[in-house]
Structure 1
Amino acid sequence: MSASYHTIITLEPGKRSGKPTIRGMRITVYDVLSYLAAGMTPQEILADFPYLTEEDIQACLSYAADRERQLLVAHV
């Protein structure tokens, strides 16, 4: 991935209850991860949401992996 997820994933208190969103839009990281978990391919997500990019989807995965790593460190 060329850009860090930090440049793509945004947190705004007044938007989507402060959940992490993609580039300040109303689609959340959770939305994208849920679509992937339900079996949608990245190509299907991009077809349904043409304003998203492959980099956005990768950023969601990177964000989730980083959060998981932080949770593991906090529990040790």
Structure 2
Amino acid sequence: MNWQEYIHSDESVLLGKPVIKGTRLSVEFLLERLADGWTEQDLMDNYPRLTKEALQAVFAYVSAAMKDTLVYFPTTNFRQA
């Protein structure tokens, strides 16, 4: 999965947060919905421009970010949402 085909960052869109190309759906927003218990189908029903491939790209993007240690959570003082 080449997540770069689906996700990009533009300072003029949501202050540069990574979003699904052609939308204002940020990676952060989609992950929050999933963490809140939404299903893939819930997301696609509510956001018809979101594709299954774009949602897979979200996971590939996060995986790449974690491998590159762009995402790091210390073991202490971790704030839960």
Instruction: Output the TM-score relative to the length of structure 1.
Output: 0.85
Which of 10, 14, 17 is the equivalent residue of 1:16?
A: 14
1:42 paired residue number: 40
Q: Which one-letter code corresponds to 1:18 in the other structure?
A: G
Instruction: Output the TM-score relative to the length of structure 2.
Output: 0.80
1:33 paired residue number: 31
Instruction: Give the count of matched residue pairs.
Output: 70
Higher helix share: 1
The structure with the largest alpha-carbon Rg is 2
1:69 Cα deviation (Å)? 0.8
1:70 paired residue number: 68
Structure 2 unaligned blocks of 5 or more: 71-81
> Does the 8 A contact of 1:11 with 1:24 survive in 2?
no
Deviation beyond 4 Å, 4+ runs, structure 1: none
Deviation digits for residues 39-58 of structure 1 (CA, Å, limit 9, x no counterpart):
11101100010110011111
Structure 1 unaligned blocks of 5 or more: none
User: Percentage identity across aligned positions?
Assistant: 33
> How far apart are the structure 2 equivalents of 1:31 and 1:55?
17
